[in-house]
Amino acid sequence: MRYVSEEQPAVVAPRCARRWHVLQPSHTLHESPVITRNLTSGSPLRVIIWFTIPLLVGNLFQQLYAVTDAAVVGRLLGVDALASVGASGSLQFLLIGFAMGASAGVAIPVAKAFGAGNMAMMRRAVVAGIIISGGIAVAITLIGTLGARTLLTWMGTPPELMGNAQAFLGILFSGAAATVAFNFLSSVIRALGDSRTPLLFLVVACLLNAGLVVLFVAGFHMGVGGAALATVIAQGVSTVCCLVLVIRRMPDLRLGGEDWRIDRHELGESSKLGLTFGFQMSIIAVGAAVLQYGINKLGTDAVAAFTAAVRVDQAAVTPLISIGVALSTYVAQNRGARQWARVREGVFRAGGLAVGFGVALGLVLVLFGTGLVRLFVGAGSDGVVAMAHRYLLINGSLYAVLALLFVCRNALQGLGITAVPTIAGVMELLARSFVGLFLVDRMGFLGACLAAPLAWFGALVPLGLAWTVHHRRLARRDDAPVLARPGLLQPAG
């Protein structure tokens, strides 16, 4: 299995080279004011932590989209409206999750070229990502707006929830282009080592979303459609902010005519990574949709409980997701610099950090899960709260397993490996589908609580084995010296 690129010659730099660099255009060394972070030198754990912190804060704010929508809808419009948003959740994950996965995939060649110091190759990788992201945005918009009712029907959505669920999805997917663009631009900026700037834009968008959802739902009485419209507007603002940053402060990302002359190999590499990563997310989402089908048969209270529990669960695992995303960029940059010892050490350190977070987060859910769930429902919903808390107890106690899954998956993806993470996604699909089609009928809501842990264990088996194999292969390579950025010490290319 191919996991290493030998395309760029190594350039030796002193060990004391600074980790922070000004990103210089290949044609000049005096223009760019933007600061980016090179993750190929310094303490692996330290650079991973500093890169993770803005991602963590950003992902927590990202959860405000879902949390704000659910809390406002649940408290102002009632349990049925909350269940309607929840019933559409797996379809959001299916289509929007594909876009997010694809954005992470097409950013891998960008990070690899940046780590190797080849600015021309980096811009061509960005062009390939633009082409792929544009096609994905069109596809999501068409499928989401035209096929929402059909997909909801296939999932067995209760008739009383159908109208609100379709209205929510129709508005959300009509703005899919903004969502895809923001995720792509954020991934490219992070690939260059800047995880802080996307955070600032995301904070602005989340605050705007929180204000708009209250205004549209409580003030203008627009129902669940108002919550979706608030999200679309906020994503659009984030996209504009990212574009302004690129135009004003990132001259190396300003694309010229020759940058659009990419060859089939470059487009093929980005397509393979982007579509495969998106497919992996979609596979997981299909499993979630099948699980949602099983839960829908349990009634409105069960759907509302699952919706509230998943919102809390998604916020709780944000640190684990953030560590994984940071590790993927770290591995990709060091892959471009061919620093295999740093790759191994970084994955090991990140694994310990993630497991520690997993144990701590699980303990928080065990102790405070009930109070967190009550944020989403009003008085008189004790049955919904009890079911949701049971879900959080079971899932939270196994977050350490999920932490290892994120570390192994993102390390392999940073190396450009696509087959094994896809197999892991299939394992998750099978586990969630088994629960949705069989276990929920026999065990009720308890069966739904077991879906995620079964999926984690199933996915971790191939991921753990694959990382063990590739770790040994990397260990057999001679430790390469720290690589300099050609854009700093010599002309690129």
Helix and strand tally (H, E) in the chain? 20, 2
Please, which residues have CB within 8 angstroms of residue 315's CB and are 6 or more apart in sequence? 60, 63, 67
Please, which residues have CB within 8 angstroms of residue 440's CB and are 6 or more apart in sequence? 291, 294, 295, 297, 298, 447, 448
The residue count of the chain comes to 493
pLDDT at 492 over 90: no
DSSP alpha helix (H) spans, 337-398: 340-373, 382-396
Q: Return the amino acid letter for 466.
A: A
Using CA atoms, how far residue 359 sits from 318, 365, 454, in Å, is 14, 10, 18
Instruction: Give the Cα separation of 104 and 17 in Å (integer).
Output: 28
Percent of the chain at pLDDT exceeding 90: 13
Report pLDDT digits (tens) over 225-263. Answer: 888 888 889 888 888 888 888 888 777 788 888 888 888
Q: Return the amino acid letter for 208.
A: L
Report pLDDT digits (tens) over 358-395. Answer: 999 989 888 887 777 777 665 667 788 888 888 899 99
pLDDT at 473 over 50: yes
Cα-flanking dihedrals φ and ψ of residue 135, to 5°?
-65, -40
- Count how many Cα atoms sit within 13 Å of the Cα of residue 255 in the half-sphere of its side chain: 16
Percent of the chain at pLDDT exceeding 70: 85
Mean pLDDT (the chain, rounded): 79
pLDDT the model gives residue 480:
44
Give residue 65's pLDDT band: very low, low, confident or very high (50, 70, 90). low
Q: Is the pTM of this model over 0.75?
A: no
Q: Return the amino acid letter for 192.
A: L
pLDDT at 292 over 80: no
